[in-house]
Structure 1
Amino acid sequence: MEQKSMKRFIILFVLLTTTLAVSSQSLSEMQKYFQNNKDYLDPIEGFYDVEADGDYVTPFVQQKCPKEYLTLIIKKNRGNNFDVYMKDNDGEIDLSDKIKIEKIGETNVYYFYFETSKCRTYLTDNYCHFIAKLQFDYNTAVNFTRNTKRLTR
């Protein structure tokens, strides 16, 4: 019985370690990936300096958020799907569970999904610039702002 428990523990440990290794990569690993695969990358793959701002308006929330500057890394996952990683101020890279990207066929058109929002985006400026405008539904806006008070005028 003890041997079965040990086998289960080892299998679980290996699976967990593999999962964590896939979802968190260092900046140097990412840079090495892009350098080694530069001839095969999809046009949208790479590092992006992002300027994000937003107006959140629902019956409960009317809020203008200040501009935020961050670095996103877009990397092909499998098929026509891409993962988005965010770099924090300490240089750590984390897989974003809020943003997903899907390429539409063999074009330069992509769907961006931010939680419940969907946006079609075209690459412009020689594949190095794009604007993704996303609109939150009510639940996402309340979740994002943590504000459940009804707006009064």
Structure 2
Amino acid sequence: MSKSTPATIALTKAGVAFDLYTYEYDPGSERVGLQAAEALGEDPRRVLKTLVVMLDGKPACAILPSDKEVSMKKLAAALKGKSAAMAPVSDAERITGYKVGGVSPFGQKKRLPTVMEEAALAESYVFINGGQRGLQVKLAPADAVKALGATAAAIVAD
């Protein structure tokens, strides 16, 4: 497994401190984020998943705990849009340059408007996909928000 991905390169260029962790990716897993949390021995609230959505017809990114579901209404409001829906897998892969299961918010082909679940900022560290299936970066959540120019908002479904 390569430890150098567009995500790790982008984080290094941004001067963000991070550690890399690898785990055995299970392509048959129903919920990739929860499988990553279990494989890493971490609480799912600290292992964040990256979702690509279409916000008023344009791509955007949502980052939230792997054991939660996103509220499309809250996400749209956080990014000052009207409506949001999950992007089809083929679109998400084309837009980001990553394969689903390895989508990172860092180092995407084009920087997307991004929102991170604000509850994640209360954690001392979080894990976010490092741009490859089975690769996670561990970093301070505030550093992730800063590196991404992201918005922090409550986007988890009730």
TM over 0.5: no
Structure possessing the higher relative contact order (Cα contacts under 8 Å, 6 or more residues apart): 2
Quick check: which one's strand share is greater? 1
TM-score, normalised by the number of residues in structure 2: 0.30
Query: Which structure has the larger Rg over C-alpha atoms?
Result: 1
